[in-house]
Structures are given as C-alpha cells and as structure tokens.
Structure 1
Amino acid sequence: MTTADITSAAGPAALPPSPSGGPSGGLSARATAAWRAVRRSRRLSVGLALIGLFVLLAVVGPLFADDPNGFSLDLSQPPSGSHWLGTTQTGQDVFDQLMVSTRLSLTIGAGAALLATVISVVIGIGGGFLGGWSDETLSLLSNVFLVIPGLPLVIVISSYSKGGSLTATILVIAITSWAASARVLRAQTLSLRTRDYVLAARLYGEKRWRIVLVEILPNEAAIIVSQFIFAVIFAILTQAGLAFLGLQNPADLTWGNMLYFAQNAEALSSGTWWWFVPPGLCIAVFGAAMSLISFGLDEVLDPRLRVYRPGKQKRSKQQPTQGEEAAR
C-alpha cells in the first residue's frame, strides 16, 4: 500500500493542517518556532533586546544628532536638559558623539567579524575536508598565525596604516583573528567527513562543493555562529584598544576614540566622568549582550545546557498529606 492509498483511506483528517495554511514547515511555522525558542531562554531574550537597542541607536541616532565636532561655550558641563550626557572641555556634546561613534564601532565589529569568519570557514572546513597537502598547507598557515602574538601583530600592522580608512582597520583586525576559529572548524570537519551520511554522499557521486554545503556546513552552523559572536566582541575591543593607543584615525568617531580624547584631556583626574563613562559602559554592555546571545543559543540548541527552574506546584485539597496517610 502506497502513501497515497493511506491518505485516501484515512481521509482529510489524517494529515494535520499546517499553521501557515500551506505545506508543513512553512515560513509562519518557522517564525513561530523561532519565537518560542527565544522566549524559552531568558539570556537570549535579554541579549537580543540589548543588541536591538544598540542597532537602533546606530541606525537612527546619527540622523537626529547634531554635529558631534561642533564647539560651543558650554565647556565641561555635566549632564543636563540641554546636554543629556554633558560636554567635553571644548564644548562638544558627548551624547551626539556617542550616537555617531556607535554606528562606526558596530560597523567595524560586524565587518571584521564577518571577514574573519569567512576566512576561518574557508581555511578550516576546506582544509579539513580536502586533506592531503592542502590540509597540511592550510594547517601550517593557521599555526603560523597562532604562534605570533596577536596584540603585538595588530599594533605593528596598525602602525603602518595609522590614519588609514575604515577598510584598513577591518582588514587588520580580520587578518589577525581568524586562526583559532579555523583550527576548531578543521578539527570538527575531520570528525564529520568520516560520518556515514558523508560517505554515502560520496558513494552516490555528489560533488565536493555540494557535500560541504549540504552535509558538513549545516552541522557546524552552531560553532560558526558562536565564533562570529565572539569575533564581533574581539573586533570592537581591539579597535577600542588601538584607538586608545592613538593608532586610529582621530577623525573617525568610535567608542575607542572617545576614550582616547578623554584620556588625553585628563578627564579622570578633572572629574569629567560623563566623558569616558558612556563609551566604556557601551563597550561593556555590548560585550555582555553578545555573550548572553551565545549562551542563550547554546541553551536552545542543546537542551542539556538549559537551566531547570522548578515551578511552584499547588497541592490539591483532595490529595492527602503524609501525616494523614500515617494516621490512616
């Protein structure tokens, strides 16, 4: 008996209707499942809410902000109704600078993380799947970048591109941050390429690129997403460190450049806390939000990592207690 015979014999009620009204697993059903997954994890919900706030601030904030480099007669003024986050020693509005610097900082973080993730995927998965001399060459390249200390390498490369463009900053951070992720992906690929479904795909004559894209890459999606999240944090922290050391273009407003200007003006010793606290707090909150998203995704994808929170169970009046059972 075929599937069509079973369906005709059972009637229309045999197959449950799809939530979207179409085939099972439609767009509406996937959106509902994703929303339930987000609500299931408090860490993921809080992290996504904070990141959404930063993204909204980066997209909409500069449109309503005045000239962040504009001078005024309000020198080193504390937060007030006219200046929400106070002013600098030259009368520049800190709130306007924070709006503009948020966009550039997130652009650098996302761009450098995306490029570093692509490099690590190509070298890690490509070398692990191909094997042979290709794997040996790519593995040697990864080991060379791992042996060289990361921070001194970034400082040396950035010193030659001082005052460079935004693209140069993204390239410098991406080139120095892909090796560790590539090693992890290579080790996982070496384990996956010997699985039964990969061997079956080879026996059926599937092309190599299709085996990688269909059979291997989806099974490493969780690792890639986690590495991308921490690559964003690393890129923002690295750019802030380089800017604080004076190795970035001072004309580009970022969280790190705001800290650099505050340090040069001795804002800490003069008590101008509203100058350096907002950008430092943004870096800390953004890093914490990205970490919450990573931990929340682990809870959603791996049920063994979920935190068990027992609910309060109300005892039924008809259910006898242990004392009543003993008395009986």
Structure 2
Amino acid sequence: MSAIVAGTAAPAPSAARRPRGGLWRAILHNRKAMLGAVLLALFCLLAAFPHLFVPWLHGDPRTIGDLPLQHPSAKHWLGTTGLGQDVYAELVYSTRESLVIAVVAGLGATILSVVIGVSAAYLGGVADDVLSMFTDVFLVLPTFPLIIVLATYAGKGNLTVIIIVLILTGWAYGARQMRAQALSLRNRDFLESARVRGERRSYIIVVEVLPTMISLIVANFLGAALYSVLTAAGLQFLGLGDPNSLSWGTMLYWAQNQGALVNGLPAWALSPGLAVALLGVSFALLNYAFDEISNPALRPVRRRRAKSAHS
C-alpha cells in the first residue's frame, strides 16, 4: 500500500468541503486513475451481469461437458477443465466472489483502521498508548503464516471466515497512517473552535476530522482491497478455501491439481492469475492516483514540467 507521509501538511477544513465534482475532474485528468477506474468498472460489470458475457450457458457455469481437457477453440475460448467445464465461463462467473472478497474485506479493514487510528490520535494519553501498542502487535506479527493458521482452524472453506481473517490481519498498517495524519490535525484551529463550542468528541471526530482525511481513507481502502484480493487468491490456491466455490483462487487450485500445464492447457492456469493481477492493478493504479490527487506537492510539479516541455 502506498503511504502518505505523515508530515505532509493537512488540507484546510474548507478543502474537505469542496464540491464533489472537483474530485471527479481530478480523476478524469489523471491517466492512472482513469485506467484503474476503467479496469475496475469492467470487473464490476462482469460480477454484476456474468450471464451477459456467457449467454450460451443459461447462467450455469458448472455445466459438465463431454470434452474434458480441451485446448482453446471457437466453442471453448479458453479450453475446458478435467470435467469438461468451460474455463472462460468459470473465469467470468468467478469475478463476483473475488470482487466481493476485495471490497468487503477492504472496507472492513479500512473501518477498523479509521476507528482505531483516529481515536488513538484524538484521545491521546493512556488510550493512545494502549491502541498504539495493540496496533504495533499486529504490525510485527508474521501475517501470511497467521492467516493460514486462522483460516485452517477457524473454518476451512468458509468464505466469511476468510473475510474476517483478512480484516483482522489487514487493518494495522492503515491505522498507523490514520493516527499519524490525525495527530497533525489534533491542535488545528478549527478543532480548537469545536472544543470551545462544547462539541462532543464523537461529533468532532466524525464531522470535523474525518472529512479532512477522505483522500487518505480512500487510499487505505484501495490498498486494503488490493491486499485482500491477492491474499485470498493465495489462500484458495493452497486449498484453504471452498473447493466448490467459483473464484479465481479456486480455479488456480484445480488447475494445479489437475495438471493444467502438464496437459498443455496454459490458458486454464494463466487466465485466473491474469484476472487477479489485473484487479490488483486496478486497485493499485487508483491508489497511486489518489496519492497524487491528495498531495498538493505533486500536482504543481507535474504542471511545471508539462509547461517547460511545451516551451
């Protein structure tokens, strides 16, 4: 996840209340953001309406054919599996579960990061010490071995368990960023004014602090979603997911188990891996783009270089 330097000056309160169109205009003028948004929109379309892309199966990607382990052809664009199932159809229908894992786990990790990180910075004192120590413990834990242990013993094959495990192991880095940014805002004039007015702490955090951190929150969500989709695919590839589910990681698991590469069917093994990579690229590009959009130091430099190049 790309980090936003904690020392960067926080935006003025008025910047958090700028018209929404300003953010969309910034995305439209950023090539990375546009490419990432187009890729993500394509995956969302595949997840929402998979039957439109595989109309000949009538919504049943598990249809067993009589031609197992077939090479790509006009009838089966990516070949067939060991049971004669169409690889392209499975790839399209697997988009939904993979995208759900990325979005739900990314959103859960982001919410946990915001709650713990911002609360630690604003409350200070003992609360800050306890929450910071809690965050540090999760930061130093060996993540992937912990994920394997939790996913194995908490409920192998259970999608809900996998999502919860991803949330529990993916929030700490974002919480550290949130705390650092919130610390730079804690003594700003607009927060002091809210305290003088007698506003509740919850009101100050939600209404005054969080709107100034929208770009960082979005960047953390995109980074957490990227982490979730890659880690979930790795878990499913190792056989820790539901082998009967439709997801890219499960496709990789069966392709490896049934010797896709040995049988000369690279499309079966490579297509889900490429799909995971492209979804990860979409989140990564949007993440980098939000770093550029939210960091005022990057935009003038780019404009000056563009002007000097034209001159």
On whether the aligned pair clears a TM of 0.5, the verdict is: yes
RCO greater where, 1 or 2, for CA within 8 Å and sep 6 or more? 2
Counterpart for residue 4 of structure 1: none
Question: Against the structure 1 CA distance between its residues 40 and 263, is the aligned structure 2 distance closer, same or farther, given a 3 Å change threshold?
Answer: same
Counterpart for residue 9 of structure 2: none
Task: State the superposition RMSD in angstroms.
Answer: 2.0
Counterpart for residue 230 of structure 1: 223
Q: Which range moved further: 80-89 or 109-118? A: 80-89
Question: Against the structure 1 CA distance between its residues 62 and 115, is the aligned structure 2 distance closer, same or farther, given a 3 Å change threshold?
Answer: farther
Question: Against the structure 1 CA distance between its residues 39 and 260, is the aligned structure 2 distance closer, same or farther, given a 3 Å change threshold?
Answer: same
Between the aligned partners of 1:287 and 1:248, the Cα distance in structure 2 is 19
Between the aligned partners of 1:262 and 1:204, the Cα distance in structure 2 is 63
Listed as ranges, the matches of 1:244-323 within 5 Å are 244-306=237-299, 307=302, 308-310=305-307
TM-score by length of 1: 0.82
Deviation at residue 78 of structure 1 after TM alignment: 2.0
| Residue 208 (structure 2) pairs with residue 205 (structure 1) | no
Between the aligned partners of 1:232 and 1:120, the Cα distance in structure 2 is 13
Counterpart for residue 11 of structure 2: none
Once the two structures are superposed, residues 35-58 of structure 1 have per-residue CA deviations (whole angstroms, 9 ceiling, x without a partner) of 432221111111111110010011
Q: Report if the CA contact (8 A) 1:163-1:250 is conserved.
A: no
**Unmatched runs of 5 consecutive residues or more in structure 2:** 1-17
Once the two structures are superposed, residues 62-117 of structure 1 have per-residue CA deviations (whole angstroms, 9 ceiling, x without a partner) of 46643222221122222222112211122110111112211000001100111111
Listed as ranges, the matches of 1:1-328 within 5 Å are 30=19, 32-62=21-51, 65=54, 66=57, 67-306=60-299, 307=302, 308-310=305-307
Between the aligned partners of 1:36 and 1:221, the Cα distance in structure 2 is 16
Deviation at residue 310 of structure 1 after TM alignment: 4.3
Deviation at residue 269 of structure 1 after TM alignment: 2.4
Between the aligned partners of 2:227 and 2:173, the Cα distance in structure 1 is 12
Once the two structures are superposed, residues 175-218 of structure 1 have per-residue CA deviations (whole angstroms, 9 ceiling, x without a partner) of 11111111111122222111222112111211111111122111
2:48 corresponds to which letter in structure 1? V
Between the aligned partners of 1:32 and 1:121, the Cα distance in structure 2 is 25
2:35 corresponds to which letter in structure 1? V
1:309 corresponds to which letter in structure 2? A
Counterpart for residue 14 of structure 1: none
Question: Against the structure 1 CA distance between its residues 60 and 311, is the aligned structure 2 distance closer, same or farther, given a 3 Å change threshold?
Answer: farther
1:44 corresponds to which letter in structure 2? A
Once the two structures are superposed, residues 5-45 of structure 1 have per-residue CA deviations (whole angstroms, 9 ceiling, x without a partner) of xxxxxxxxxxxxxxxxxxxxxxxx94654443222111111
SS of the equivalent of 2:164 reads helix
Number of residue pairs aligned between Structure 1 and Structure 2: 286
Deviation at residue 291 of structure 1 after TM alignment: 1.4
Q: Report if the CA contact (8 A) 1:62-1:96 is conserved.
A: no
SS of the equivalent of 1:161 reads helix
Say which one has the larger Rg.
1
Q: Report if the CA contact (8 A) 1:51-1:286 is conserved.
A: yes
Paired-residue identity, %: 44
**Unmatched runs of 5 consecutive residues or more in structure 1:** 1-28, 315-328
Between the aligned partners of 2:27 and 2:177, the Cα distance in structure 1 is 27
Question: Against the structure 1 CA distance between its residues 64 and 283, is the aligned structure 2 distance closer, same or farther, given a 3 Å change threshold?
Answer: closer
Deviation at residue 162 of structure 1 after TM alignment: 4.1
